[in-house]
Structures are given as structure tokens and as C-alpha cells.
Structure 1
């Protein structure tokens, strides 16, 4: 189940897959794919299973089809590193971008990388989209408008009634920004402190099994 959200006068939907759907513009936002991360690790001699990037692209294309989206906006870190840019991955991305109109807002991992010949539209920094702004790094508190961003790979610890702890990826909504969880299948996460988020007047929406849930005040640990 998706969660409706009004931001800067725009109707958005927080998706359980970790993306944001903007129906008025037929646009899907995701952040932090980190394609090629497994290949980069294997190039360094680490035993990381293959196929993560292919699965990420497949999940992303399925999500686009499910919403009949006409545009994909990746909020940075499409790539992980130059060592991961194998010919197989570049061919897969080229085929994907031919089918799915894709805009990449450059992230810190993307900026040193310039793969040639790919049909991706590239935005070097903050990209105004009417009432919204697309970016990689979240803007500082008090910034005007509403920015959709990534970069943090946010997650939060939950505590069950039995006393167990569970870390889950999440959306974080500030008065000035919405930070998306990482969409890639081989990414780490930054565990955020619920107290600091509450002090910043942030709301947290946790990804569950097929649903997104707003976390009530005091619900994280």
C-alpha cells in the first residue's frame, strides 16, 4: 500500500518499493541505485555475488510499467564507481534507457564518471521541476521550497513489543525536503536517530512488506 503525500501543493505517493510517484507529471523518482557496485567489489577481490545491478534495473522497469510512468528521475548515484562499468552493465543500461526515458541528477558517485554514448539526460545539480526540486544531496534546513533528494540511504531502528529491534529503510520528510531510501539492491544504509529527526520536525515513513507506514511520534529507537 502506497502513502499519499501533499508537498508544495503537489500530490505525491510514497511507494513501498522505495520510489516516489508524481502522477500529475507521470514521473517516478528513485535514488541511489549504485549500479556496478558488486562488479567494483569483485574487481577488488571481494566475493560478492553477481546480478545485483540487473535485478535493480528489472525492479525499476517493472515499477515504471506498473504506474505507466513516462519519465524516470534518478536522484543521484546511478553508478557506484568506474571499476563497475563493465561492458555488460553498460549495454544493459543503454537498453534500459532506450525503453525508459531517464533523467540522472548527478550524485557524488556519478560526477567522476562519464560513460559515453548512453541515452541518459543528465542534470549536473539541483533541477527545478515547477513546485519541486530534484537533487542528490538534501539541502540545509530552512531552504525554500520542497526538494526530493537521496544520498543518505536513510534507515531507522524499530522496537517490537517483544523488545526485538529491526532496522528498516525509510523516507524522511522535513519541512523543506523529502529524502528517499536507496533503491539499489546492494547498498548500505545510514541509521538515523529518531530523537534528532523529531527535533528537526521530520516525519518518518517506514518501508514494510508491500506497504509504507508513517511512524508515530516516539515509535523509533
Structure 2
């Protein structure tokens, strides 16, 4: 789905990604690589394929948009170094010409040398481009003249059908004061968003992105 926000065209992709054609920038949030491996190391039975599936989804997006820059808007890595992150390091080498930017989130705790070894540029607390300011947690944004685009809360929306059935989906939220991207990882919960007047929510359904 293509929308216009603050004078710029934005593409909302059903793979929970945002593309800015003018800047050739693909943005995702809350990738949480390493989360499944962290749970497995604690004895929780979590499938080992979660990180692999998320990286395959990224492959599809990168082939689709061919961006110059991939921006991860916080919580790229869930915890410390582990097998999922080792797998990402190998995957990263396929895209040596692609610029990787990380706006650090509350789970991004690796050493700067670890990020550097994977060719990831760190921005803290935000990365601003055009009229937008990417920041992991929007209320902390100090660039008042720019429109913050955040992540962190894993936004979701509940849709009630005619038979009163309830379906909950990840969503993009474009509020009066800031926007929130859906969590890219499929291994996350959802926090229900309730829009105010003139605010917009776009549900990410299995088939497409729809305004609700």
C-alpha cells in the first residue's frame, strides 16, 4: 500500500516493512535476531527456524525494492551473541554493498566492535532523513520539527467481523504526533493500538496491508 505522509511517498509492505522510494531506504523495526536462540539456551522449546525465516523474508524485500540502505529501527538483536547472530553474520556477507543502519533499541547491547565486524553503522538515539526521524521509542524524540517514526511496542489492531469474530493483526500506526512500525519478527506479541481522531491504522493481513 502506498500512502503520503508529510509530503513524501511511503510504501507499507505486508512483510512489515516501510520503503521510502525518494531515499531508496527500506526500514524495519524489532527484528529481534537471537531471541529464539536465547530462549532455547534457557530450555524453552522454540523452533530453530524462526531467525532463518525472518532472514528469508528480508531477502524477498531486498530483491523487491533494491534499496541503497536497510535501516533497523531498534532491537535488531535480542540479547548477546549466539547461534542466530552467527547465522546473520554469514547472511550479511551476501549484501556487502548494502548500507546497514541500526538505531539502537533497548535490546541492542552488543559491543561496538561486534556491530562493526558485521558492517552495521550505529545511530543513537535517532537517524533523521527528510521530514522523518527514526527512533526506537518515539516519546524520547527531541527533534520536534521532524515526524518521529518508532517501533518498540509491537503495535497491533483487533478487527471485529460481522459475526463478532475477532482477528488481531500487526499494524502500522500513523498518529498525530508520531508513527509506529510493526515488529518485523514473527516471534513477538502485539500491543493493541487505539487511534485518536485523524490518526490512521493500517493492518498487516496475510494478503495485504489495509486501512482500518
State whether residues 144 and 176 of structure 1, in contact with CA within 8 Å, keep that contact through their aligned partners in structure 2.
no
TM-score w.r.t. length of structure 2: 0.89
Where do residues 198-217 of structure 1 align in structure 2 (5 Å cutoff)? 198=196, 201-215=198-212
Q: 1:75 deviation in Å?
A: 0.4
5+ unaligned residues in a row in structure 1: which ranges? Answer: 216-221
CA RMSD of aligned residues (A): 2.1
- 1:21-60 matches, within 5 Å, as 21-60=19-58
Cα distance, 1:96–1:31 mapped onto 2, change above 3 Å? farther
Residue pair 2:173, 2:201 contacting (<8 A) in 1 also: yes
> d(CA) in 2 for partners of 1:58 and 1:118?
18
Once the 2 structures are TM-superposed, how far is the Cα of residue 76 of structure 1 from its aligned partner? Answer: 0.5
Measure how far apart 1:46 and its partner are: 0.5
Residue pair 1:43, 1:83 contacting (<8 A) in 2 also: no
Separation (CA, whole Å) in 1 of partners of 2:199 and 2:99: 32
> 2:85, 2:8 → 1: CA distance?
40
Greater shift in the superposed pair: 183-192 or 45-54 = 183-192
- Deviation of residue 42 (structure 1)? 0.5
Q: 1:205 deviation in Å?
A: 0.5
Aligned residue pair count? 208
Match of 2:167 in 1: 166
Query: What CA deviation, in whole Å up to 9, does each residue of 1:100-123 have, x standing for no partner?
Result: 32111111100x222251111111
5+ residue gaps, structure 2, are none
Secondary structure of the residue aligned to 2:4 is: strand
Task: Give the Cα separation in 1 of the matches to 2:65 and 2:92.
Answer: 22
